Amino acid sequence: MSAPHILVVDDEPDIRNLVQEILSDEGYEVDVAADAASARESRRLRRPDLVLLDIWMPGEDGISLLKEWQDGGGLTCPVIIMSGHGTVETAVEATRLGAFDFIEKPLTLAKLLLSVRRALEADQLQRENLGLGGQSYAAEPIGSSAVMQQLRAQARRIAQHDSWVLITGEPGTGKETIARYVHSLSPRSDHPFVSMSAAALARENSTSELLGSEAGEAVHHGLLEQASGGVFFLDEVADMDLQAQGRLLNALEGQSFLRVGGSQPVNADVRVMAATQHDLQQEVRADRFREDLYYRLNVVPLRVPSLREHAEDIPELLSYYADFYCSREGLPYRRFAIAAQNRLRHYSWPGNSRELRNLVQRLLIMVTSEQIGVDEVELALGQRGERTEEPRWRHNVFELPLREAREEFERSYLLHQLKQCRGSVSRLSQRVGMERTHLYRKLRALGINPKEVD
């Protein structure tokens, strides 16, 4: 795993050498360039994580070079402008072209290191936010159940090694969340986490997007280069066709590749994590997935459980996302009634945690009262008029606390009896020997709506 790579561009040898020495002592990898031409070549050979760029150089000045990079596909890393003859107009122009900071010569050690650190941190944060689609959801899998404690413990063990990881689970279980959690605990945590959908590899320009491209002086750094030192996360890897799988395997196998139009190999030190909702072994047997790629990806398997497997965490998840949308989006805070929580604990959750998250957001927007009850939950689920299925006993019912196991049994028992009574609470009251008022209260607490049972 490599340290952040910094390119210093300055025509004065004393300044180049001094800055290189200072940054090297701080643990950075540093290359130097004396003019625009050598800066282009250095950037072509290896994508820097940061550029320190002097304005006044013989031949072509730094502002012109910055504009060239911006026009040639945008800046792929932060740029800090250095100048001993800076003016306000120059600083404004550099900022307009995308420069992160403007520092004046003579350089001071504290100012230089502070600006470098801030630029790298800001770039990492921007990449994380882009990867999350602008949503900073849970930094780790939420839940106090034994299932989730085991998942977090497994993730912590995997994080200490640099092996490739194949993450499996149903849609919406949070496979990328667990990948980011592993990355955050690993020695690579200070380096990028770059995410790509495998389906995108089928696009016409997918190879250049993945590997980058060269055309004359213009260089486009692909996603693998952008992930150098960190993690390359490939989502829904089973969606790739066989041709795309071959391209990916060739690129990842030696962590060295050619850009499209390039002639010299580019090194990318990346840890690969892939995710899928499909059984890749079955895909291999059906000749839809390359066996060699499967074994390369499946060094360390990690399965994310469905929400049904840890339904006891639902109250905690409801509270977390209610707080999230209250603090991040300014939605009014609503409490979930116990009966509403119980109803959601017994819902099948085909969309898993993603469906729960969206449901909480919808309820916070639509409900006007301070408390969200069963009726509001039913409407949000779209379950009105649908038949409530008798739940299957969870395979781990005997591992539940007594109170939760009792609720599980009571709900199954009353649903069964209610079906026998064709949804009549009066007949149910006689059948189970329970006073009707208490029975209504019990049904509501368990999230059972008699009108849905026939």
The domain boundary residue, chosen from 84, 103, 131: 131
What mean pLDDT comes out for the span 38-53?
A: 89
| Residue 389 covered by a domain | no
Q: What is the pLDDT of residues 18-35, one digit of tens each?
A: 999 999 999 999 999 999
pLDDT value of residue 26: 92
| Residue 218 covered by a domain | yes
Least confident window among 58-67, 150-159, 270-279, 285-294: 58-67
Q: Are residues 157 and 291 located together in one domain of the fold?
A: yes
Q: Are residues 274 and 353 located together in one domain of the fold?
A: no
- 257: domain CATH number is 3.40.50.300
Q: Are residues 17 and 113 located together in one domain of the fold?
A: yes
Give the helix ranges, DSSP H, for 393-435: 402-420, 425-432
Q: Are residues 216 and 74 located together in one domain of the fold?
A: no
pLDDT value of residue 398: 58
Q: Are residues 105 and 245 located together in one domain of the fold?
A: no
* DSSP-based three-state secondary structure for 220: strand
| Residue 387 covered by a domain | no
Q: Are residues 339 and 442 located together in one domain of the fold?
A: no
Strand 5-9's sheet: what is its strand order?
A: 29-33, 5-9, 50-54, 79-83, 101-104
Q: What is the pLDDT of residues 300-349, one digit of tens each?
A: 999 999 999 999 999 999 999 999 999 888 899 999 999 999 999 999 99
Q: Are residues 286 and 354 located together in one domain of the fold?
A: no
Residue whose C-alpha is closest to residue 82's, from 118, 126, 112? 112
Contact by Cβ (8 Å): 192, 127: yes
Q: Are residues 162 and 283 located together in one domain of the fold?
A: yes
Q: Are residues 280 and 202 located together in one domain of the fold?
A: yes
* pLDDT exceeds 80 at position 254: no
Residue whose C-alpha is closest to residue 344's, from 451, 452, 447, 453? 447
**Structural domain for 20, as ranges:** 5-131
Using omega within 30 degrees of 0 as the cis cutoff, is the peptide bond preceding 332 cis? no
- 411: domain CATH number is 1.10.10.60
Total structural domains in the chain?
A: 4
| Residue 386 covered by a domain | no
Q: What is the pLDDT of residues 354-377, one digit of tens each?
A: 999 999 999 998 898 999 999 999
Residue whose C-alpha is closest to residue 240's, from 193, 194, 275? 275
| Residue 390 covered by a domain | no
Residue whose C-alpha is closest to residue 79's, from 97, 102, 100? 100
- 357: domain CATH number is 1.10.8.60
Contact by Cβ (8 Å): 134, 125: no
Spell out where 132-263 has E strands.
Answer: 165-168, 193-197, 212-215, 218-221, 231-235, 256-257
Q: Are residues 32 and 98 located together in one domain of the fold?
A: yes
Compute how many other C-beta atoms are within 10 angstroms of the C-beta atom of residue 108.
11
The domain boundary residue, chosen from 284, 303, 322: 303
Compute how many other C-beta atoms are within 10 angstroms of the C-beta atom of residue 242.
11
Q: What is the pLDDT of residues 372-417, one digit of tens each?
A: 999 999 888 875 434 444 444 544 555 567 777 777 778 888 888 8
